[in-house]
Structure 1
Amino acid sequence: MGVLKFRQYDVASQKNGVIIKQSVCQPKHQIYEQFIEKQKKAYLSEFEYAQQRGVVMQSWEQLVPFLPTKEEFELKRAYVGFECKRIEYWSDGLKVIGYIWKPKNTEGRKLPLIIVNRGGSLELGKLTPRLGLRFGFYNFLSNGFVVIGSQYRGNDGGQGKEEFGGADIHDVLNLIPLAKSLEYIDTNNIFMFGASRGGMTSYLTLKQGISVNAVAVIGGLSDLEANLNTFPELLNRWQKLIPDLKKNRGSCLRDRSAVYWSDKLDSPILILHGSADWRCNLDSQALALAQKLQESQKSHQLIVYEGDDHFLSFNRENSEKRIIEWFKSHMK
């Protein structure tokens, strides 16, 4: 039985990153007024939670001038010259769901890649065909990048079970062989972007030795135990996701917290964080990690947006511009 298991694993590993099938994305139709109303509802909810925790956020009225204009919305919604593909690919013998955002015409081109690590967990915060309208995938594409992201195992119809930074990290690592199979990807120029939990995922893949030119993280999670001190409601959710968390809380959380192994983060890292982020506290997450990176003499840059939230709602364009500049400065 031992030999048989080894052979099964070997076969599975050989298939890692192989695309099983892909289809053109079918984004939900949304008019500008619906988009604005959805943003308002989400922001007011965020504002209420912040108040309950004693965190002062700017008002919705202050945010309105920073929202996309109708013209910008229509431009990005039209997606002229670009396309989205929903993919199913192999990872550790599991069929995992992901997305590819790319120019329609890639013939004869070699394009730099951004691997995007989603935030949230399970179905909350998962990738959608037009998530880029909010987080800048359109801006990434219009600046010459291809974007690929995983939903992580067990989500959006994929096989397996998410472990919030456990074996599901392989689902990101296996995007590297997937990218190498695509003739239009410039494999000398691969970058990584993560938001919130996606920041933790990005750090963990670096710990596992992924080779990327540079990384950018918004509102990243870098100390899980400290995060529970300011957001204790997360514990119940994490206990359902992280194997053995109830028995080995200390080691499980440290294994996922980059502040404890900053010496393993060898790619240049751009850290962007809002000072009014109640979900991932600035001091215990971004500032703490930046201090550790400084001590470890690791290449990094920290940008703090005063008064902004977890999603950098007031600095959407500026943060995307800084990320693109960071990646371009690390092109080979």
Structure 2
Amino acid sequence: MTAYCFWGMRRGSRFCTRSRLKEDRSARWRGGGCQTTALTLDRQSSQAVVLSASAGSPGDLFQIDIASGADGKLTGVNREYLDEHPPASMEKFSFERAGFGIECRLWFPPDFQATRKYPLLLDVHGGPNGAFYDSFNAVQQVLATAGYLVLAVNPRGSSTYGDDFMKAVLRDWGGEDYLDLMAAVDLVSERPYVDSDRLGIHGYSYGGFMTSWTVGHDDRFRAAVVSAPCTNLYSMYGTSDIGISFGEVQWGGSSFDAADELIKHSPITYAKDVTTPVLLLHGEADNRCPISQSEEYFTVLKRLGKEVEFVRFPDCSHLFLRVGHPKMREEYLSRTLGWFDKWLA
């Protein structure tokens, strides 16, 4: 009987899955604890080669026997570097809040000692229907290996946790999603090795929205890196390449029939309440979250006398952290780490 293979994602992990035609069930034959992003099969569909990244490795090729699920590692591209520069380690945990289970990943420095105190950074993913995975994340690795604890939360709105969970963020940006994140920070801050006087926050895209939203509603964070954000939903509606198709669904309407709601859910509305030093990072060729979103936020913060800096990345699109010039990506990581070192060291 003919079978087909496809990717399936569940709770921050990706699985290679096989199903037969006219059958309702499917079987996983690879995955869990990693993020697999490429697959090729031989002509008989009995052997596969996949590209998988784990929490401790940016990615390698693995050969898999589909019938048995047995696999073998084919490459060790970064072995020598990782031997000399140990990556951060990860702990996964969950907690219940307002009807949902919220899954978190906490990254530890390689030389972590429970008897010491460490600054804690909250990292917020994009989307809002993105997710943090069991995978190597350059931002989190750079920060954690520099001596920070990094908390990566999948709040309501994140994908891979079911439709109800993912849709719970619609028309509620900065509502229950924000409270999920703050609850996670509260929970981790109770641990004896967390220095709750040295908290920072970073986010890109929707994560940039949430970072700017957070510092306008909570003064406990001593440093914030706000990247490619949505800070003014009213103006973004008419300038983003998805302002209409995405915005009307996510934000609850247009700039002419839901103006009050767009303004209410815009971080720029609460700029006067910001006390956290803010670093803005934005690509000049970003059509998704136009750089005007950072320009507006920078202007207001500066006019209000807040601590703020703004770095523009020339010729960089919204995806430059994934596919942009390596120099620009290196600069982004360097600026991010430097900002936290300046205010939290």
TM-score, length of structure 2 as denominator length: 0.69
**Are 1:186 and 2:195 counterparts?**
yes
Q: Give the drift of 1:275.
A: 0.8
Residue 285 of structure 1 is matched in structure 2 by 293
Cα deviation 1:253-302 (Å, max 9, x = unaligned): 112222333111210000011111111111x2111111111111110000
Q: CA contact under 8 A between 1:112 and 1:190: conserved in structure 2?
A: yes
**Structure (1/2) with the larger strand percentage:** 2
1:255 pairs with one of 249, 258, 264: 264
- Aligned-partner Cα distance in 2 for 1:210–1:174: 15
Q: Give the drift of 1:149.
A: 1.9
2:275 pairs with one of 266, 269, 286: 266
**Structure (1/2) with the larger helix percentage:** 1
**Are 1:111 and 2:118 counterparts?**
yes
Cα deviation 1:176-230 (Å, max 9, x = unaligned): 2112222222212110001011111112122222411110022111111222212
Q: Give the drift of 1:157.
A: 2.2
Which structure has more relative contact order (CA 8 Å, sep 6+)? It is 1
Q: Secondary structure at the match of 1:261?
A: helix
Q: Give the drift of 1:81.
A: 5.1
Residue 128 of structure 1 is matched in structure 2 by 133
Q: For residues 19-168 of structure 1, what are the structure 2 equivalents within 5 Å?
A: 26-28=33-35, 75=81, 80=86, 82-103=88-109, 105-122=112-129, 125-130=130-135, 132-133=137-138, 136-155=139-158, 156-157=160-161, 160=165, 161-162=168-169, 163-168=172-177
Q: Give the drift of 1:94.
A: 3.1
Residue 207 of structure 2 is matched in structure 1 by 198
Q: Which amino acid aligns with 1:318?
A: E
Residue 7 of structure 1 is matched in structure 2 by none
Which stretches in structure 2 are left out of the alignment for 5+ residues?
1-12, 14-31, 39-49, 53-75
- Aligned-partner Cα distance in 1 for 2:313–2:223: 21
Change (3 A) 1:184 1:146: same
Residue 322 of structure 1 is matched in structure 2 by 335
Change (3 A) 1:225 1:108: same
Q: RMSD of the TM alignment (CA)?
A: 3.3
Q: Which amino acid aligns with 2:336?
A: I
- Aligned-partner Cα distance in 1 for 2:84–2:36: 11
Change (3 A) 1:236 1:308: closer
Q: Which amino acid aligns with 1:117?
A: V
**Are 1:307 and 2:310 counterparts?**
no
Change (3 A) 1:236 1:274: closer
Q: Secondary structure at the match of 2:333?
A: helix
TM-score, length of structure 1 as denominator length: 0.71
- Aligned-partner Cα distance in 2 for 1:232–1:300: 27
- Aligned-partner Cα distance in 2 for 1:238–1:79: 42
Which stretches in structure 1 are left out of the alignment for 5+ residues?
1-22, 36-69
Percent of residue pairs identical:
21
- Aligned-partner Cα distance in 2 for 1:188–1:268: 15
Q: CA contact under 8 A between 1:217 and 1:269: conserved in structure 2?
A: yes
Q: Give the drift of 1:236.
A: 3.9
Change (3 A) 1:198 1:78: farther
